[in-house]
Structure 1
């Protein structure tokens, strides 16, 4: 595999940190750019450069300007941003739980921010080197797979993200033929995001962050470069849009 730079956005998440460790251990990886609103505890590995970004359009643009010197050399991109719950937000179980403020917050984190990154990254990713961009989606974002209902804002925001990925792939195919976009479902991973919902998950279906990172990086390395968006789970199985 040729030498490359990696870019991990949303670097304070548990899976992102596991991926950063694996990039650092990869002799072909020349460096990792880790972007986050809040800096995680830095590793001792000098490969990783931490960049602060509050995910506004201007802040994203500033980070991309910093990355300009390695334009065309970043060939592994993870966009890990996402929101399922916080101190004020829990997934809606019924229509009466819907609120405009929650819909806006969840859509902003899960749909708008990743799309802003896809927009601003285009000039940095154009080139001759095969490049994979994985955006963290979710199986519940599949419209055709929705049999359970509930989780209105999270489902809809991930469905919107999937459409944005699909639409971006059409334009990337014209303007950056070397790029493959992937909507990635990590499965239920032992992270703070899934913690309140783990009690009903069988032990063999609750994955470690290191396992999910390994699966994702393997998928990125081996996926066909066909200029079409892919919607895949942790086991490299296709999910219906």
Structure 2
């Protein structure tokens, strides 16, 4: 099997790219991958100016990277705009707030996935994981509410599934999946009611464990932190 190498001679198998590296889960994923021996490139809005509302910023940062990366993880996300909360009713829907959530959670990952074919190795196994959320599942929605967040994560799931089909045509060893990390104790979920929140390090370990156990033929699917399929 041929092993793709980057410009500096490192192999794709030990190179990882994490988008959203300054967030709670993103930082934990960077740390966990480093402990595994990966050469990690972490990018974020805070440190690197990647702003999904400004597509040119995504393009410039990602075009500056040289692949291949054996793993690409998109760990960014937005529950609600600053000063707002997820909508509890139709009456709370606001166009500008909904657009901001959709940009962060669906359009942003799509902008990153545009670059995946160039950044992934053509040969051997590779992984692209996009963190979405169980509440983006239409089949699992029994409580209602949270219109923007639910819709944005459902859109992200569709984008991941569609990208997986396209990427498989040129990268047969690539695994492209949506991931539900569970409720993680970060600033993102500070006001989120939950019976149990896991630490970011535990969540990162769970997600990497799930990815370890998946095969390329499972590309395009949606899994939770325990490796169980989530209904669309």
Give yes or no for TM over 0.5: yes
Does the Cα contact within 8 Å between 1:173 and 1:227 map onto a contact in 2? no
Give 1:174's aligned residue.
Answer: 169
Aligned to 2:212: 221
SS in 1 for 2:160: helix
Aligned residues: 221
- Aligned residues of 1:7 and 1:78 also touching (Cα < 8 A): yes
Give the equivalent residue in structure 2 for 1:19: 29
Structure 2 residue matching 1:38: 3-state secondary structure: helix
Q: For residues 137-156 of structure 1, what are the structure 2 equivalents within 5 Å?
A: 137-156=132-151
Question: Following TM superposition, by how much is the alpha carbon of 1:7 offset from its aligned partner in structure 2, in angstroms?
Answer: 0.4
- Structure with the bigger percentage of strand: 1
**Which secondary structure state, in structure 2, belongs to the residue aligned with residue 111 of structure 1?**
helix
For 2:190, the equivalent position in structure 1 comes to: 195
> Alpha-carbon deviations, 1:19-62, whole Å to 9, x = none?
111122123x2x111101112xxxxxxxxxxx442333322222
Q: Which runs of 5+ in 2 are unaligned?
A: 1-11
Which residue of structure 1 aligns with residue 224 of structure 2? Answer: 233
Q: 2:65 aligns with which of 50, 64, 67?
A: 67
* Paired residues of 2:21 and 2:27 also in contact (CA < 8 A): yes
**Contact kept in structure 2, 1:138 and 1:184, CA below 8 Å:** yes
Q: Match for residue 130 of structure 1?
A: 125
- Checking the alignment, whether the CA contact within 8 Å between 2:50 and 2:57 is kept in structure 1 is yes
Question: How many angstroms does 1:87 deviate by?
Answer: 2.4
CA contact (8 A) 1:179 1:227 kept: no
Change (3 A) 1:79 1:143: same
Q: Is 1:38 matched with 2:46?
A: yes
Counterpart in 2 of 1:44?
none
What secondary structure is seen at the aligned counterpart in 2 of 1:91? coil
Tell me how far apart the structure 2 counterparts of residues 102 and 60 of structure 1 sit (CA, whole Å).
21
CA contact (8 A) 1:7 1:34 kept: yes
Q: 1:125 Cα shift?
A: 0.9
1:64, 1:120 within 8 Å by CA — same for their partners in 2?
A: yes
- Are 1:8 and 1:34, in contact at CA under 8 Å, matched by a contact in 2? yes
**What does 1:24-103 align with in structure 2 at a 5 Å threshold?**
24-27=34-37, 29=38, 31-39=39-47, 51-55=48-52, 56-68=54-66, 71-72=67-68, 74-103=69-98
CA RMSD of aligned residues (A): 1.7
